[in-house]
């Protein structure tokens, strides 16, 4: 049972454009939603994270939008750069006491010049 659904599977965006990756979840006990960035041959690295008490969080060119009622959240990358080309995973974690991360299936992002 896939608890976090991620789309699209792959995405090609022109340099300078906006990259948008979407995730949806079922478990209402989830209360922490991180996004991880993974380059080939490397482990996933935390990019940005949000809690459901806010609808948006922005860090530099990266923004998470969160819709609690729809149980959806998305990553927006503004002014996308070739260095942003990587695989992005959304994840979710339930309330304190159940600390495992449940990951989406990943989005392979390619930024073309």
Partner 1 sequence: GAGVSQSPRYKVTKRGQDVALRCDPISGHVSLYWYRQALGQGPEFLTYFNYEAQQDKSGLPNDRFSAERPEGSISTLTIQRTEQRDSAMYRCASSLGTSNLQETQYFGPGTRLLVL
Beta-sheet pairing, 86-94 with 107-112: antiparallel
Q: Which is nearer to partner 1, 13 or 90 (CB)?
A: 90
Does residue 99 interact with partner 1 by CB under 8 A? Answer: yes
Interaction with partner 1 in 8-37: which residues (CB under 8 A)? 32, 34, 36
Q: Considering only residues 21, 91, 109, 111, which one is a binding residue for partner 1 as defined by CB under 8 A?
A: 91
- Smallest distance, partner 1 to C-beta of residue 84, A: 19
**DSSP per-residue codes, 35-103:** EEEE-TTS--EEEEEE-TT-SEEEETTEEEEEETTTTEEEEEESS--GGG-EEEEEEEEESTT---EEE
Residues that bind partner 1 (CB under 8 A): 4, 6, 32, 34, 36, 41-46, 49, 89, 91, 93, 96, 98-106
């Amino acid at each position: 049972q896939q608890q976090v659904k991620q789309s699209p599977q792959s995405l090609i965006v022109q340099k300078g454009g906006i990259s948008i990756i979407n995730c949806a979840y079922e478990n209402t006990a989830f209360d922490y939603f991180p996004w991880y960035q993974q380059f080939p041959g490397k482990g996933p690295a935390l990019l940005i994270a949000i809690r459901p008490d806010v609808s948006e969080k922005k860090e530099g060119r990266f923004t998470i939008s969160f819709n609690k009622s729809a149980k959806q959240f998305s990553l927006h990358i503004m002014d996308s750069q070739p260095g942003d080309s990587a695989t992005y995973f959304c994840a979710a974690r339930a309330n304190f006491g159940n600390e495992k991360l449940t990951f989406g299936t990943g989005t392979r992002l390619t930024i073309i010049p």
